[in-house]
Amino acid sequence: MHTKPQVIAFDIFGTVVDWHGSISAEVQKLQLPVDANAFATAWRKGYQPAMGRVRSGELPWTKIDDLHRMILDAILNDFGITTLSESSKRHLNLVWHRLNPWPDTVRGLTQLKSNFTIVTLSNGNLGLLANMAKNASLPWDLILSAEVFKHYKPDPETYLGVAEIFDLPPHAVMLAAAHKDDLLAAHNCGLQTAFIERPLEFGPDHTRQDLHQESFTNYHAKDILDLAMQLS
């Protein structure tokens, strides 16, 4: 039996909010002449390589809003979209601030908040995460970001940084995430881990093959409400 954590840190994109569905809907609303699902997938696909350029030192520290814009400009070109004004591009880039939560998210977080300190641990920048919380009514006790630590996940400085902020040993902190590379990195830093299944994270046309239980996850939950029930 695990000792329950004192702090639960949540990954955001895909775990707490539905990035694919939200971006696809925004693209459809703009009536862009593209496959909205393919556009959303392409935008997210540029995320890891862009962060890799920062982590390798090729780019200086760059916040996610600016990386998202770099990727957006590239994929607009790839999809042959030349009609968007600069203000429209800026507004579209800020869709990441307006992502919709999964149906269980707010209730699940609210239940967990009554017994645990709940925080974000996201590669999203602070302004993005604050705007998202406001838009989606996410009840965080504290918003933490890679921007605070000047390191992107999965660098150890992010996971250990949460423990340091609360003056806790790593095992008193849990990372909840829908991504196993994130959870494995947190586990290797001594954090507890909870995998949140999000079978539709990559859209209705993509079937995730990685929803099985792993040795490095302490909890395995269907959604955030399920995690709250397991920890009650």
Q: What does residue 69 show for φ and ψ, rounded to 5 degrees?
A: -70, -40
Q: Which amino acid is at 195?
A: F
pLDDT, tens digit (0-9, with 9 covering 90-100), for 83-115 = 899 999 999 999 999 999 999 999 999 999 999
Percentage above 70 pLDDT, the chain: 100
Question: Structure tokens of 194?
Answer: 């909870």
From the list 223, 183, 209, the residue with the least C-alpha distance to 18 is 223
Quote the strand ranges of 128-202, DSSP E.
Answer: 142-145, 173-177, 192-196
Specify the residue for token string 């039996």.
1
Global confidence as pTM: 0.95
Report residue 185 CA to chain centroid gap: 15
Cβ proximity of 6 and 191 under 8 Å: no
pLDDT score of 71: 96
Model confidence at 1, in pLDDT bands (50, 70, 90)? low
What is the pLDDT of the chain when averaged over all its residues? 95
Tokens for 186, please give them.
């947190």
Neighbours of 156 (CB within 10 A): 16
What's the length of the chain? 232
Rounded distance, CA 21 to CA 36, Å?
9
Counting other chains too, the contacts that 209-214 makes at CB distance below 8 Å and 24 or more residues apart are 210/180, 214/180, 214/183, 214/184
Q: What type of residue sits at position 94?
A: L
Q: Which domains does the chain have, with CATH numbers?
A: 7-18+99-230 (3.40.50.1000), 19-97 (1.10.150.240)
